[in-house]
Structure 1
Amino acid sequence: MNPLLKAKEKCGVVGITSIVKNRVPECIYRALYTLQHRGQESAGIAMFDGQEIRVYKGLGLVTEVLTREVIANLNGYTGIGHVRYSTTPGATIEEAQPFAVKNPKFSFSIAFNGTITNYLEIREELAKQGAVFVTKTDTEVLAKLLAKNLMDCGLDYVEAFKLTASEIDGACSMVLVNDKGELYAYRDPMGFKPLCVGRVNDLVVIASETCVLDVLAGFNSCEYDQVKPGELIRICEGSIERMQIISSPRRARCMFEYVYFSRPDSIFDGISVYKARERIGRELARRCPADGDIVVPVPDSGRTAALGYSMELGIPFVEGLMKNRYVGRTFIMPGQDLRDEMVSLKLNVVKEIVNGKRVILVDDSIVRGTTMKRIVRLLRKGGAKEVHVRISCPPIISACYMGIDFPTKRELIAKMMSLEELTKYVEADSLQYNTIDGLLAGIGLPKSELCLACLTGEYPLAK
């Protein structure tokens, strides 16, 4: 496979401006810390300080990159931030975001969540016109396309966004800060990735998830709305201008946001992620009941679905696995060897709870299968009499081209094995998946409103 095709990512973005021109670097730090679950490979911030845009980014967690000294040395009342993980082995600082563009006539920085599916064609065309690329990411292609269109549109950002939106395919939720101190936000017309806008005290905030606004508000109230699919938002001097710049008859919200990626305390397009996961767990129990003594979640990803499963069947919900919360998410760790090592560091069994019990183990998904196999072994080691695995997400059988880290069918164990083979592989007494109908009922949206490509092989884009 062309290595460029592997440069897909799942990220968190934030943009903040202060109406009364107070400092916002600390607020962006808090927002990125809240979005840390969306990526632990790199973090960065871009601030307009009244004269120029200053970018600081690095590899590592938010707390490791954006230290107290770094934040203290950043000034400005408008800025953006980003957390990232990628599927590209060997992450480099050049691939970290925000990504800056400097031109004698303008400068801006962008932070992007998604995957531009036609970025190779765009990259090739831009290269013919003299563009030079320093990374293999679609983020750089997006930034340089926007810069070209900005020149072609007489430095009119709205017109440049309109032109760019008409040229790119795929998933795109992004924020931009320019050298005028303006803040922009854009979401693709199918609405693959979440993006919200709201007011918190003197701040106007754009973020990947609504939990950011709740955290920034603290004990104060806040107002927020979703950025609509195909919508461009321009924020200047505290005013919010909303424009529908492109439309699509199709909606394709990523179902994995409801199942796994988003924080449970977030709301994605009007639906509580927590309640969706609880309902998905109930639907799983109705369709895939098991005879067991206790329901045990895989923390933290399977907890809410396991609670729904427990409530539906009346089987006690217990925490039979303890998580080391200082170890990152294994699914979004680049490289299988690192994922395997992290499982051992991350989880331990509570023997007093599982010993002699028939355990119903609930998790959100199985992608590669290695993590589940290790967890089942842990439970056996802890004395579990039986282990029945129940998965709230239907089998993942197809690649994702919209930014989730299972790019090849060879990595998808549900595609390579029958259910019987998979049950044997993970060493469970039984294993069952939720159905697509159960997933839809739990989320509360029809099939036409979601992207289910990884479950069905039916992609919402023609390409």
Structure 2
Amino acid sequence: MLTTNPYDDDKLREECGVFGVSATDGAAALVALGLHALQHRGQEAAGITTFDGAHFHTHRAMGHVAGNFDRDDVIRSLPGTVACGHVRYSTTGETALRNVQPLYAELSTGGFAIAHNGNISNAMRLRRELVRRGSIFQSTSDTETIIHLVATSNYRTLLDRFIDALKQIEGAYSLIVMTPEGMIACRDPLGIRPLVMGKLGDAVIFASETVALDVVGATFVRAIEPGELVIVQGSEIRSIRPFAPMAARPCIFEWVYFSRPDSIVDDHSIYSVRKAIGAQLAIESPVDADLVIPVPDSGTPAAIGYAQQSGIPFELGIIRSHYVGRTFISPGDKVRHLGVKLKHNANRALIKGKRVILVDDSIVRGTTSLKIVEMMREAGAAEVHMRIASPPTRHSCFYGVDTPEREKLLAAKLDLGGMTGFIHADSLNFISIDGLYKALGEAKRADVRPKYCDACFTGDYPTTLTDHDEGSEVDQFAMLAERVI
């Protein structure tokens, strides 16, 4: 079930970030630092698992990394030279401690810990089959399915059992796995979710983004390739590719929104790509105005690119408070609806009497865009135009991104004129899908097979969607699992 917190910002949410380190003293502290750098990828919960050569140790908690893993007593409770960690938003399974990763189990081969970024799109079907064969699930997370597939595999070695499990799942995954034999990092054959490898002295590090390597002082080595498994055992590093080669389809939204601007993805600077998107947006959708204003913080690089291309001054017309947590919920509608002003406030002296262009990364439900436009009008803006640095989001994501059901997506219900009226803007435009590819330095979609997964814009899903296609039977099973497990 894909749901979005209705009290949070009206944004698509990445499910999680992962970080792992092998062969270094104080591994838990290093993972905690890495998770701090990946906090933007998941803010509901965090966890770290370590291995000291004899035993596994785990600490998982709801909330941010800070406050849970900046305590000496917690880090001391996680001894070992091998560790992996996870920050989470929930896209499958309830928001509860039992779903916080890394998940851990004792298998016949020994301890097995797993951290997962992505979403398994046939998890419900697999889960039904496993339960019928006697598996007992302890969570409602799709990730636990992998553990049971490994546990029930008929292959002899743990690596072969793990590969057997991966060959039964569909969807998106970047995984870090810890066993007594070592650490395994892998990506799905399409490379939908990101994963990179770095080095810090003799230590091997895996992370969802390069910024996490920067924060711990590690050197970027390379991206884990789609369909690749990298196995680290002591000082030995080896790579295997057990899947048939496929044309990669990484998630295009990593460049639009998910990744931090200071990360590098597939040799592209996220910051530079977002500026290029803004410049292309200015070419495609010009408007006569006085100011270009970003919707902070995610709209800022695109707004800079739009301003530079158009020649219209860039200004900080909206000031964001960085001290409001995403869990603020008021019991009353009147106060709850003021929540946007807790995070964003208009720079009135700058805006009054001006024609402004608001630049944001996306529109999902449209509720936050409406509030931002109204904020500009209340501050005295003469005209309010909105430009969006991604195409209209018309389809749900099934690969680890928290999107509403399709009927709740504004662009799935309304045409451009209807959306413009809904958010009360004087004009609204989105970058085209071809323009988005152009900003990434790629050929237009009409000329070649798409290089990226852009299903949230086009509906062109690169994998089968078993659970979604099976519909109500899966939904009933998911509801049953929520009640009884």
TM norm structure 1:
0.92
Partner residue of 1:34? 37
State the one-letter code of the partner of 2:36.
Y
1:44 matches 2:39: no
Distance 1:75 1:258 in 2: 36
1:452 matches 2:454: yes
Q: Which runs of 5+ in 1 are unaligned?
A: none
Distance 1:462 1:89 in 2: 21
Paired residue for 2:408, among 390, 400, 411? 411
Q: How does 1:21-420 map to 2 (within 5 A)?
A: 21-68=24-71, 69-87=73-91, 91-149=95-153, 152-154=154-156, 156-180=157-181, 182-217=182-217, 222-328=219-325, 342-420=339-417
* Structure 2 counterpart SS, 1:167: coil
* Structure 2 counterpart SS, 1:33: helix
Superposed displacement of residue 27, structure 1: 0.6
Contact kept, 8 Å, 1:210 with 1:224, in 2: the verdict is no
Name the count of aligned residue pairs: 448
> Which sits farther off after the overlay, 453-462 or 440-449?
440-449
Contact kept, 8 Å, 2:395 with 2:409, in 1: the verdict is yes
Distance 1:108 1:186 in 2: 15
Using CA pairs below 8 Å that are at least 6 residues apart, which structure has the higher relative contact order? 2
State the one-letter code of the partner of 2:219.
C
Distance 1:143 1:228 in 2: 23
* Structure 1 counterpart SS, 2:145: helix
Contact kept, 8 Å, 1:101 with 1:144, in 2: the verdict is no
Contact kept, 8 Å, 1:37 with 1:329, in 2: the verdict is no
State the one-letter code of the partner of 2:311.
G
Superposed displacement of residue 413, structure 1: 0.3
Sort the Cα spacing of 1:45 and 1:191 in 2 relative to 1 into closer, same or farther, 3 A: same
Distance 1:102 1:317 in 2: 56
Contact kept, 8 Å, 1:392 with 1:433, in 2: the verdict is yes
What CA RMSD, in Å, does the superposition of the two structures yield over aligned residues?
A: 2.2
State the one-letter code of the partner of 2:298.
S
TM norm structure 2:
0.88
Contact kept, 8 Å, 1:340 with 1:370, in 2: the verdict is no
Deviations 1:110-137 (A, max 9, x none): 0001011111121112112210112222
> Which sits farther off after the overlay, 445-454 or 305-314?
445-454
Superposed displacement of residue 420, structure 1: 1.2
Q: Which runs of 5+ in 2 are unaligned?
A: 5-12, 466-485
Distance 1:232 1:104 in 2: 22
Distance 2:95 2:250 in 1: 28
Partner residue of 1:14? 19
> Which sits farther off after the overlay, 283-292 or 125-134?
125-134
* Structure 2 counterpart SS, 1:62: coil
Sort the Cα spacing of 1:364 and 1:235 in 2 relative to 1 into closer, same or farther, 3 A: same
* Structure 2 counterpart SS, 1:362: strand
Contact kept, 8 Å, 2:108 with 2:151, in 1: the verdict is no
Superposed displacement of residue 89, structure 1: 8.3
State the one-letter code of the partner of 2:183.
L
Contact kept, 8 Å, 1:340 with 1:371, in 2: the verdict is no
Deviations 1:332-360 (A, max 9, x none): x9xxx899564231111111211211110
Distance 1:449 1:165 in 2: 23
Distance 1:393 1:187 in 2: 25
Paired residue for 1:424, among 398, 421, 426? 421
Superposed displacement of residue 250, structure 1: 2.7
